[in-house]
Structure 1
Amino acid sequence: MTYPKTNETIVLIKDLVSIPSPSGNTNEVIHYVEKFLTGLNVETRRNRKGGLIATLPGQDQTQHRMLTAHVDTLGAIVKEIKSSGRLKLDLIGGFRYNSIEGEYCEIETSAGDKFSGTILMHQTSVHVYKDAGKADRNQSNMEVRVDEKVHNADDVRALGIEVGDFVSFDPRVQVLPNGFIKSRHLDDKASVGILLQLIKQIKNENLQLPYTTHFLISNNEEIGYGGNSNITPETVEYLAVDMGAIGDGQSTDEYTVSICAKDASGPYHYGLRKKLVELAKQNDVSYKIDIYPYYGSDASAAIRSGNDIIHGLVGPGIDSSHAFERTHAHSIENTSKLLYHYVQSEMEK
């Protein structure tokens, strides 16, 4: 059984994943978040990269915290309009073509018009192509079939579709009665939903935070630089909230909060990691400590760009990351609880 705030968070997550926002084209979802926070009377501002920063004042304004989650997702961009009227893609973010084979998609033109499509192998029909199962899933063989009456490149261009237009993938979100949530883009919209619910809880309970706390909703994490700027000089602790990766050799699961010890960028701050574990133990939060070998976060990007901060990473466990993702309400709940206690805790020394 989950507590009511988790159900509210899941509604937020469902709304968020349903808004297309591949890296580079995130204004619509940022506007959704902005409107949500404005409704709570929370001060927000946009940075020049298009991300959103919300600030809650604390008792100590000489030391700040920053929590971040990213709202940009994997996606694609039109690389070429083929003579057949189909589209060649270039990928946005780190994933494989096989993970989008057969996926419904949406092409958005620079004028804002949207067209439906399906991502397919050129050699899809087994009745025509002998190598349909063996052909490589790559840029040369995969294409978008546009759901319009088009026969050639000129027909496609007449619709307003051009090279450089963004392509987003159908999230196919489902919330099941047993607590599972499956959808594309739970990385990292599950965490964004958690942070929005946390801010709402802080406001509703009139909590006085010990330190001024910033919430960065970044919009370029999937391409490596979403959370590497707009960090105030007073910021001491910087905590990225992003998915925990599940697989062979991993301790992370879909029911606990994952606390990252190390990723491809190196170890996270040892003192902050130990404090997060201690907070979890003290407050009956189920957690796992893990290492993500092929992973980077907004926190690691912030460190690389020279910020003198204590950095950490926690998040819900997400199965099949950068593909057919799934998590559970228990992971959402445990992540939410840890963050609720973290923002009220004393600073790591």
Structure 2
Amino acid sequence: MSSALKPQLNREYIISKLNELLNIPSPSGYCMEIMNYLRNEVEQFGYTMDQTPKGTGIIVIPGQESGEVIGISAHVDTLGAMVRSIKSSGMIRFTPIGGYAMQTVEGEYCVIHTRDGRKYDGTVLSSRPSVHVYNDVRDFKREEANMEIRIDELVKTKEETEKLGISVGDFISWDPRTRILPNGWVKSRHLDDKASVAALLGLLEWLKREGVTPKYTIKLLISTYEEVGHGCAYIPEDITELIAVDMGAIGDDLSTTEMDVSICAKDSSGPYDYGMTSKLIELAKREGMPHAVDIYPNYGSDASAALRGGSNIRAALIGPGVHASHGMERTHADAIVNTSALLLAYILEA
């Protein structure tokens, strides 16, 4: 595929789907609604999505030839929390789902999801929430034991909160606070990794619209436990190479920006496959895509999980650059669309 034939991806479709994905609560382990959404979406293109017992979605794009199978993964699960206990004041003490600093959620609106389907709004606060009352509020350490959720119901005791149906083990989702701006900036929680899932939907939409069949069968893997480390610990045995699509980190001595497709050469699991990574770099250069190659020492991906799970595969990692990862994140529509375009270039060149 020459640069003159670069796929005309449906940018409006990709960003509209991203907006919908971001507004469906899906902390790790609570992904039922968003997986049903994805199943309905891919069926519109004539594909089906099966799920493993753990919940990973598998979408098969048949190829022209049998033999090699290319896997592409992204994850819909996000950071969140779970009710750890109910305090005597009626406030909720929570335990984190995924790795984030407590100061990144202080003051955030949230929803408590009870096991019987009820939902309650709340706000994350420290247990020293007011400068007018507590002299140590500015220095008070933001850690799990010092944080709580104020429920937007008239409750002042543990018993009153329990009467709402709220119990230990209920999931808590953060308000994404999504803003999609006319100039292409997208700021929201959970761009890690719903921006990548939107890029995969853009790939499916293009293949369907153009009637293109890739040379080799492609299996899209949508994982639901990546943020807790074992999203794609299992992958189908016929996959020979796996591209994990996940956000590119920004900061310190890293080169990636919010306008770039990040190509990761090495993360906490070690170096990614030399041949795959080199090919992705070559294609990004050929297609004139803003991109950067980086090292992420404090990062793991679904490809990392697959390798650690014993999969005999080659693996690579790409994704749109995302600023303030696991906080109030931001990326640009160009980076998401170009991530989709680079994936298409790769599978059409296979």
Give the TM interval when normalised to the shorter protein. Answer: over 0.9
What is the TM-score with the length of structure 2 in the denominator?
0.96
Q: Look up the match of 1:123.
A: 128
| Pairwise CA distance, 1:43 | 2.3
| Pairwise CA distance, 1:286 | 1.7
Q: Look up the match of 1:69.
A: 74
Deviation string 1:58-94 (CA, Å, 9 cap, x unpaired) is: 0122110000000000000000100000000100001
2-structure distance, mates of 1:245, 1:324: 13
Is 1:252 aligned to 2:273, yes or no? no
Give the conservation status (yes or no) of the 8 Å contact 1:287–1:334: no
2-structure distance, mates of 1:236, 1:141: 47
Q: 1:141 aligns with which of 143, 146, 161?
A: 146
Give the conservation status (yes or no) of the 8 Å contact 2:239–2:313: yes
Q: Look up the match of 1:336.
A: 340
Q: 2:297 aligns with which of 270, 293, 300?
A: 293
Matched residue SS, 1:290: strand
Give the conservation status (yes or no) of the 8 Å contact 1:255–1:317: yes
What pairs with 1:1-349 in structure 2 (closer than 5 Å)?
5-232=10-237, 234-346=238-350
2-structure distance, mates of 1:184, 1:252: 19
2-structure distance, mates of 1:106, 1:330: 31
Give the conservation status (yes or no) of the 8 Å contact 2:9–2:341: no
Matched residue SS, 2:144: coil
Give the conservation status (yes or no) of the 8 Å contact 1:47–1:230: no
2-structure distance, mates of 1:4, 1:228: 31
Name whichever of 6-15 and 25-34 sits farther off: 6-15
1-structure distance, mates of 2:110, 2:79: 12
| Pairwise CA distance, 1:122 | 1.0
Matched residue SS, 2:345: helix
2-structure distance, mates of 1:235, 1:164: 36
Equivalent position amino acid for 1:243 in 2: M
| Pairwise CA distance, 1:237 | 1.2
Deviation string 1:222-277 (CA, Å, 9 cap, x unpaired) is: 01111121323x21110000000001110010001000000011100011100001
Matched residue SS, 2:348: coil
| Pairwise CA distance, 1:4 | 6.6
Would you identify which runs of 4 or more consecutive aligned residues in structure 1 move more than 6 Å?
A: none
Give the conservation status (yes or no) of the 8 Å contact 2:276–2:314: yes
Matched residue SS, 2:145: coil
Give the conservation status (yes or no) of the 8 Å contact 1:43–1:56: no
Gaps of 5+ in 1: none
Equivalent position amino acid for 1:325 in 2: E
CA RMSD of aligned residues (A): 1.0
Matched residue SS, 2:67: strand
Name whichever of 54-63 and 153-162 sits farther off: 54-63
Matched residue SS, 2:198: helix
Going from structure 1 to structure 2, the CA distance change for 1:340 and 1:326 (only over 3 Å counts) comes to same
Give the conservation status (yes or no) of the 8 Å contact 2:235–2:311: no
Matched residue SS, 1:344: helix
Gaps of 5+ in 2: 1-7
Equivalent position amino acid for 2:188 in 1: S
1-structure distance, mates of 2:228, 2:154: 34
2-structure distance, mates of 1:5, 1:341: 15
Give the conservation status (yes or no) of the 8 Å contact 2:203–2:341: no
Deviation string 1:159-195 (CA, Å, 9 cap, x unpaired) is: 0000000000000000011110000000000000000
Equivalent position amino acid for 2:329 in 1: E
2-structure distance, mates of 1:297, 1:231: 17
